[in-house]
Every structure is written in C-alpha cells, then in structure tokens.
Amino acid sequence: MARHGAGTLVLANGLGFPPNNVARVVVWEWLNEHGRWRPYTAAVCHHIENVLKEDARGSVVLGQVDAQLSPYIIDLQSMHQFRQDTGTMRPVRRNFYDPSSAPGKGIVWEWENDNNSWTPYDMDICITIQNAYEKQHPWLDLSSLGFCYLIYFNSMSQVNRQTQRKRRLRRRMDLAYPLTMGSIPKSQSWPVGTNSGHPCSCQQCLLVNSTRAASNAILASQRRKVYSGNSNGTLAVRQSNTFNGTVLWSLGTTPGGGTAKIEQVRSANGVQVTTFSRSQSAPSHTQLPGQNNLNRPGTQRVAILSTRASIPPGVPALPVKNLNGTGPVHPALAGMTGILMCAAGLPVCLTRAPKPILHPPPVNKSDMKPVPGINGICRKTKKKHLKKSKNPEDVVRRYSQKVKNPPDEDCTICMERLVSSSGYEGILRHKGIKPELVGKLGKCGHMYHLLCLVAMYNNGNKDGSLQCPTCKAIYGEKTGTQPPGKMEFHIIPHSLPGYLDCKTIRIVYDVPAGIQGPEHPNPGKKFTARGFPRHCYLPDNEKGRKVLKLLIVAWERRLIFTIGTSNTTGESDTVVWNEIHHKTEFGSNLTGHGYPDPNYLDNVLAELMAQGVSEANLKD
C-alpha cells in the first residue's frame, strides 16, 4: 500500500505558508457540509491567486472564471466563500503542496458517480493515489485516509470494501495549479487596516466594508480588555457560541514559540470563559486566539471543547439564511458579522434558519376533492409521436411570405446580410428554397433568409411550429421535449398564506427516469429524475383554477419539464423545470417558491403566454 511521499501537504512553520525561497503549489479549497475540504479547479485557483496579488484584502468573483460559480464570491479577509443569492457562508483555505505532487503536474483523479459523470477526489486522496500510481503499486487501500475503498490500477476501478460496489475511476491531465514562492506578507492576514486607493462602490463591497468597520472597532475595544484585564499574563477570551463550543485556534505551538494550552473556567458571574496561556511571554506580534489567518492549515482547524458555553445576557442573536427578508438583519450581513465577531473572540449566537414548510398537514384521501370545472384528476403523457407531413419547407412557407427587396441589414440567424446569400448555403440544400430568398414572418414582421428558417426548424422540436428568434412570437402550436409522466390535481382542505379565504389546489407531478429520445440532448443516454413526485400549490379561486387549466394544456404539450442541466446541483442529463415557475412551498416563502406572493398568478400567466399557452387555448 502506498504511503504519503513527495506529494504530502506542506505545513511549514505550522503557519500554513511555505518557508522563504521554497516553491510550493497553491490549492484553494472550500469546506463542504460533510466537513471535507474540496479543491477548486486549477483555473479557479489561478484566478484567486491573481486577485490576491493585486489586493490581498479584496473579494474574488468566481463567476469571472467559471460560469457555474457565478453566485459565489470569496472574501479574502474573512476567508469565507459567500453565496450572494442565499447568504450562505463556507470557510475556504489556501493549502500548499510539493511541486512534484499531482496538483503541481496538473494530474486529476476522478471517480464515476451515479449520474455517469466524473467527480474529482479530495486533494489529499488524489495525491495519495498518484503516489501509488507512480510507484506502480497494483492496488491502494484508502482506509488510512478514513475511506473504506480499494483502488485497483489494472482495472482502473474503486471498490467499496463493505458493499463490494465497483466504480470506474480515471486519471486525466488538466491545468497545473499555481506556483508560489516564500511566505505571505503580514498585510494579508485578518484583520488589517484601511484600504488604500478608491473604495469599490458595489453592493458586495459596501456590505463587507460596513461589516469590517463595525467589527474592527469592537475588536480594538476587546483587545484593550484582553491585555489589561489579566495580571498573570493569561489571555482570557469569552468563548463564542457560534460554532457550538468549537475553538478556532489549535492546541500546540504558539506563533511566538512555547506550548499553548486552553482551559475552561467559570467567572464570578457564572459566564464560561476560555483561557489561553503559554509557557513564555508573548511578543508584540502575537496573534490573538480566534484571529483569522489567510493561510490557516487544516491541522489547526478546530479543537472541540467538552462542554458548550452558556449564552450570557445581551449576546447578539443574528439570524442566518433568513431568506424571506423579514428578519431585522440582512442574511448576508448577519452571517459575515457573526464570523468576524467570532474571529475577534466576541460572543455571538447565530440563530437557526427557519425551515420551509413544504407540505400541508396530512390529508385523508376522502378529503381530496376534484377541481370544479375540470374533468378528471389526472393527465398522463406518453412518448412523443412525431407528426407526419410536416415538411420543413411547408412549415416555413406557411408562416412567412417572400420579400422581393430585402433591407440591407443582418439576418439574426446566420448573421449575414439579407441582401446576400444565407450563411447555410452549401451546408443545407432544399430544392424549393434558394439561399438568397428572404421571408417575413406574418405576425411580428421580422425578416430572415428562408433557408435560415428551415435550418432553425430542423434544429428544433420539428412539431410544425415556429418561434421568432428575435421577439419569441410563436407560430402554430409549440410543443416541448418533456419526458413521459403523470400529472395529478385535487383540492385539499387547507389554505395558503395570503389566501385564507379559500382552499388549495395541489398538483403532483411524477416523472420517472428513462432513456432520452431523439428530441433530447443525448439520444439513447439515460436521464435521471430527482425529487419526484413534486408537489405544487395554487389557491382554489377563479384565477388559480384558470392557471391550473393552462398548466394542464402546457403539460399535454410537454412544456412543463425538459431534460438538461440542473441549476441547483449542476447535474446534467436530468429532468428540470422549463421556464414555467411553480410554487413548491406550502406554508412559507423562505426559498421564494412559496406563499404569500401576490404577483405569482399574474407572473405564471405571462410565462405560459410566452410558451404559447393562453386563454384562447381553453375549451369551453
């Protein structure tokens, strides 16, 4: 079995940065909900390092290098990843590895997940696997790293020792992680002084700067109390309850040398106090316990205390992830303030986020009633049946008319001038349509090459309809690519927030996993269906029933769902919503998908209209 060799994590001087004049590979990582540090990609790490060189106290917008990370910002002062739309904060760290290790060579080891896509291993596991691979070991046991897996290099597979489940793994080459020399300047550790130059005026920076200003003032006051409050040289820090009794500094050697120890005592007023002492006096540059360092190593993460501190009177309670905006403190401001106050050693209690009420109280089947004015309580869709006699040329000619003297402007499909031939000349040939012919759509009047319209139709659902690429006007009956499934609807004897004067219409969508058809992104490949059955809610009033009728039409036209990439999880080849929003929260609106929402019914009617589903489609 391979052991850690040249690729082991370097924690020189115990401070998380390399010694002077020694080259090290930099890997930025974030802490997930399972307590594991997950590496950012090499491209993202290069981007963070570039921002770090320019402004060690600034913020890194991850969406500038990876579109999938567009909601995320890293605050280099607090060393936390911040999600703008939810206010979620996650710790990040900057780790260093030997240049000869896997990240220094741009080698990535990945395992195949249940979605047939590839997931990279944690960096320490990746390095261990690469070391064994280079030493030509036939197999590797990951139990020393806390995982019950065996790696077999001959078959390039991973086997669970308990379940014997086998997964594929692969080794691929990617961009090498950035290289750095020497230590990090002291100005890059938290807290720091005032920024130089003109301050940024974006909302994120204003939020961060206002939080820092308040926290730095409190920190200065706390420092005076810490150094003047004890005559025996012991630093007394009131334990924060933010992390349920977790101390944010490590046991062991202090920055100034000597042995550090942490003790818990009770003060005269009954408040639990954590004392930090060492065997020799601290120099003037000693870092306070809890102070956040830019390069905090993984071994200095946490030291769990046996008991939880009581919350003294007057400790501020900051609501975190209170997404409905009803709390007294903005969620992002609350989270950042709590982190900074905790880093300063100040007491703070972050209240638990309220849980969304997704479902109503249990309802007996006898209490579920059909919706008046709608036949039945269920609609099913089967596999798509392609309509015959829908020749592309016939469809294009049906909804357009020839233009004899086209204007000298661009065709927005091929981006060639309308007075010249279509960009599809030589690529697409139709006997009845010449590449220089131009047509004008009947409703909106937008003009395109007729050959371009044919190409657009062939690239779509081929259902006999056209949609103007400029104004989205729909010609004919638009259908979608929704996979087969079932839609149920009934009335339950409960009221939605904001609609207390009526009962509730519950819609239940159930779409099973299956194989993609010819109209889907990857024909013949499996697709997943997560979170089904999905429950959605409408008020049982006149407008709510009208929305339900239109949703039934959209369902029958296969417009409610499609197969694509999930915006939430990033999973590809899975069933996702198709631009018609639904309310999936019954008794709250913490995620924005619930009630009260006085504009929802009007908004969803507009979304249905954009898909070509309107009141004109309802049968009397």
The DSSP secondary structure of 354-413, one letter per residue, reads PPP--SPSP--GGG-BPPTTS--SEEEE-S--PPSS--HHHHHHHHEEE-SS--SSB-TT
User: Which amino acid appears at position 476 of this protein?
Assistant: G
- Nearest in space to 341 (alpha carbons), one of 300, 301, 290: 290
469 touches 484 (CB < 8 A): no
575 touches 530 (CB < 8 A): yes
Res 512: pLDDT: 95
Q: For residue 86, what is the DSSP state?
A: T
Res 388: pLDDT: 46
DSSP string, 197-259: SPPP-SHHHHHHHHHHHHHHHHHHHHHHHHHHS-SSSPEEEEPPTTTTSEESS-SEE-TTSSE
Res 118: pLDDT: 92
Tens of pLDDT along 80-100?
Answer: 888 876 778 889 999 989 899
Given a cut of 50, the residues of the chain with pLDDT beneath it are 1-17, 184-208, 210-212, 214-215, 218-219, 226-227, 229-328, 385-389
Res 264: pLDDT: 40
CA distance 188 to 58: 10
Tokens, residue 453: 């319209």
Res 340: pLDDT: 63
CA distance 439 to 456: 14
333 touches 259 (CB < 8 A): no
Rg over alpha carbons for the chain, rounded to the nearest Å, is 31
The owner of tokens 């001038």 is: 417
